Amino acid sequence: MAKVLMKGNEALAEGAIRAGCKLFFGYPITPQSEIPEYLSRRLPEVGGCYLQAESEVAASNMLYGAAGVGERVFTSSSSPGISLMAEGLSYIAGAQLPVVVLNMVRGGPGLGGILPAQSDYLQATKGLGHGDFRLLVLAPSTVQEAADLIVDAFDLADKYRNPVMILGDGMLGQMMEPVEFKDRPKSKDLPPKTWAATGLVPGKKKSIINSLYLDPLELEANSWELKAKYDAMARDELRWEQFNCEGEYDVLIVAYGSMARICKTTIELLKKRGVSVGLFRPITVFPYPYKQLSDAAQKAKMVFCVEMSTGQMLDDVKIALEGSRPIHFYGRTGGIVPSPEEVLRQVERIRNGEEVDKVWER
Amino acid sequence: MTTELIVAGFGGQGVLLFGKFLALSGLKEGKEVVWIPSYGPEMRGGTCNCTVVVSEDPIGSPIIDSPNTVVVMNKPSLAKFGPRVSPDGLLLINSSLIDTTSDRTDIRIETVPANDIALELGNGKAANMVALGAYVALTKVVKFDTILDVVKENFAKKKEFLDLNIRAVKKGYELAS
């Protein structure tokens, strides 16, 4: 199929349809409203259902129900809306159901703003809701990657019976790039959904969708079952990209999503000045490629973490490096997106032994 | 070769469409492209801009501090984006609505009376297409035939505007060639 020019939001919505998703429940919010808009038109065309809920809380419980009967289901929101869905997603994780949820992050906390940010990283990767659960979180950096990853997200959700999140930001949602939808064969090795509550079949065990376990031993067993899934994800699902890491480099930049592609331009600009800097970009941010980052960092004198937050992925960078390299951090937030030149000036400073310039304090 | 563009004006002048048509033309020619709008909160008639990058190579940042080409359709945009043109870059000014210019000597400054020409052609709203034609003539970032095809394809469902927009983009191109 030929490449078409699409907004990130539209490409993700189309990608969900290509993944065989027929059901969307959600509520509009900037900067991702093109997704419900697109799906409200497209889903009826493929025999699916678009339903605008009365709130994000309701939408997340509609997801719970639809996932419980074994359908591929999808919701999309932005930061404040995701917080509202947190309760439902905890139930979904507890009941071990596959859903795909997308967060086009905007500045926070509270209602915050509508411009791009990466300030929901900790929420997405460490603690979206109550209880011992995690989402598998994928962080695309281009529109093409977003369109590809959302198809994988549905497969991964089914494979692990666990919610999978696409973590983007307003910039990825609003920008247009060429995108090609590849015809992929349906994944054959996914387990049949024997657990789905699709009605009583004689001879079949009763299917109960539930996250309530009053017996502490049963609840503990469920939690360890979840933990085993997360361990399997950390073993089998890690994804990352290394850019300009073939040769020597003094500094290794660590960034994800939109911020990472901006840093690529910084690296190209530095190349022209004869300075070689590498980039490590985690694509799965839960599970996190700790060892791969640590290995890449051993070639560098120092590591430079750049985010559109006050320092959230920074925690994972520290865990990965275990104190083996000095770590510098630069973050802009509130909707401000650092330019490649802005990052470049900071790289020059830390290479000269200076601290980063805290321009936000001026 | 990488061309970066910021095209800016007030809401309703069609600067986002200008950028989209350029991106579509780049895509048609097999180039890498990215288009990103300013999407902050704005009032009706407020300012509006988008950034477009067209390149032979994969594109990293869509955020550009100093683009090598800038098109300004109204006066506030000249004040905001004129100083950001990279040295040796191009600044294209819509002289119909902007009676001043930039005092920079390190860049190429061109003007096009986009609204006046569009009015002569029958509708002032086609000023963006006049400026687009002129921009393509000045930068040669894409072929004129490509941009013409993109205009035709995108106005195919709005036949009443098709002829006007074709004439507008042609006229802008001729004037700046």
A252-307 pLDDT per residue, tens = 999 999 999 999 999 999 999 999 999 999 999 999 999 999 999 999 999 999 99
- A5 vs B contacts (CB less than 8 Å): 20, 23-24, 27, 33, 35
- Contact yes or no for B63 and A262 at CB 8 A: yes
Q: What's the CATH number where B130 sits?
A: 3.40.920.10
Q: Break chain B down into helix, strand, coil percent, rounded to 5.
A: 45, 20, 35
* Residue A147, amino acid: A
The answer for A 264-293 residues in CB contact with B (under 8 A) is 264-268
Q: What is the DSSP string of A256-321?
A: -HHHHHHHHHHHHHHHHTT--EEEEEESEEES--HHHHHHHHTTSSEEEEEESSSSSTHHHHHHHH
- Contact yes or no for B23 and A5 at CB 8 A: yes
Nearest to A175 among B35, B65, B66 (CB): B35
d(CA A66, CA A24): 10
d(CA A163, CA A288): 16
What's the pLDDT score for residue A73? Answer: 98
pLDDT band, residue A184 (cuts 50/70/90): confident
Percent of chain B with pLDDT over 70: 100
Q: What is the distance in angstroms between the Cα of B135 and the nearest Cα belonging to chain A?
A: 21
Q: Is the separation of the CB atoms in A119 and A309 below 8 Å?
A: yes
Average pLDDT of span A204-231: 96
Q: What is the distance in angstroms between the Cα of A146 and the nearest Cα belonging to chain B?
A: 15
- A175 vs B contacts (CB less than 8 Å): 34-36, 62
- Contact yes or no for A340 and B37 at CB 8 A: no
- Contact yes or no for B20 and A178 at CB 8 A: no
d(CA A74, CA A98): 10
What's the pLDDT score for residue B46? Answer: 81
Residue A214 predicted with pLDDT over 70: yes
Query: Which of these ranges, A147-161, B41-55, B160-174, has the smallest mean pLDDT?
Result: B41-55
What's the pLDDT score for residue B42? Answer: 72
- Contact yes or no for A262 and B61 at CB 8 A: yes
Question: Best of B17, B63, B149 to disrupt the A interface by mutation (most A CBs within 10 Å)?
Answer: B63
Nearest to A178 among B27, B36, B64 (CB): B27
What's the pLDDT score for residue A183? Answer: 83
Query: Which of these ranges, A159-163, B35-39, B63-67, has the smallest mean pLDDT?
Result: B35-39
Overall pTM > 0.90 = yes
A205 or B59: which leads in pLDDT: B59
- Contact yes or no for B27 and A264 at CB 8 A: no
d(CA A283, CA A313): 12
- Contact yes or no for B65 and A115 at CB 8 A: no
Residue A218 predicted with pLDDT over 80: yes
- Locate the chain A residue with the closest alpha carbon to B66: A341
Percent of chain A with pLDDT over 90: 94
Q: Which residues of B touch A (CB under 8 A)?
A: 20, 23-24, 27, 32-37, 39-41, 59-66
Average pLDDT of span B91-98: 98
Q: Is the separation of the CB atoms in A174 and A31 below 8 Å?
A: yes
What's the pLDDT score for residue A205? Answer: 84
- Contact yes or no for B63 and A268 at CB 8 A: no
Q: What is the distance in angstroms between the Cα of A208 and the nearest Cα belonging to chain B?
A: 45
Mean pLDDT of all residues belonging to chain A? 96
Domain that holds residue B39: 2-176
CA nearest neighbour of B89 among B113, B64, B114: B64
Tokens found for residue B128: 């963006």
Q: What is the distance in angstroms between the Cα of B77 and the nearest Cα belonging to chain A?
A: 20
The number of C-beta contacts closer than 8 angstroms across A and B is 68
- Contact yes or no for A176 and B36 at CB 8 A: yes
A184 or B133: which leads in pLDDT: B133
Residue A90 predicted with pLDDT over 70: yes
Average pLDDT of span B3-22: 96
- Contact yes or no for A337 and B63 at CB 8 A: yes
- A171 vs B contacts (CB less than 8 Å): 36, 62-63
Average pLDDT of span A45-69: 97
Counted domains in chain B = 1
What's the pLDDT score for residue A1? Answer: 67
Domains annotated for chain A, with CATH where assigned, are 4-196+224-236 (3.40.50.970), 242-361 (3.40.50.920)
Residue A87 predicted with pLDDT over 70: yes
On whether any CB of chain B is under 8 Å from the CB of A337, the answer is: yes
- A176 vs B contacts (CB less than 8 Å): 20, 23, 33-36
Average pLDDT of span B123-141: 97
Average pLDDT of span B55-71: 97
pLDDT band, residue A13 (cuts 50/70/90): very high
Strand partners, A279: A243, A253
Percent of chain A with pLDDT over 70: 100
- Enter the DSSP assignment of A106: B
d(CA A232, CA A214): 27
What's the pLDDT score for residue A291? Answer: 98
pLDDT tens for A99-157 read 999 999 999 999 999 999 999 999 999 989 999 999 999 999 999 999 999 999 999 99
Residue B175 predicted with pLDDT over 70: yes
On whether any CB of chain B is under 8 Å from the CB of A241, the answer is: no
- Contact yes or no for B35 and A5 at CB 8 A: yes
- B62 vs A contacts (CB less than 8 Å): 171, 175, 261
Question: Best of B5, B38, B61, B142 to disrupt the A interface by mutation (most A CBs within 10 Å)?
Answer: B61
What's the pLDDT score for residue A188? Answer: 76
Average pLDDT of span B37-46: 78
What's the pLDDT score for residue A88? Answer: 97
ipTM topping 0.90: yes
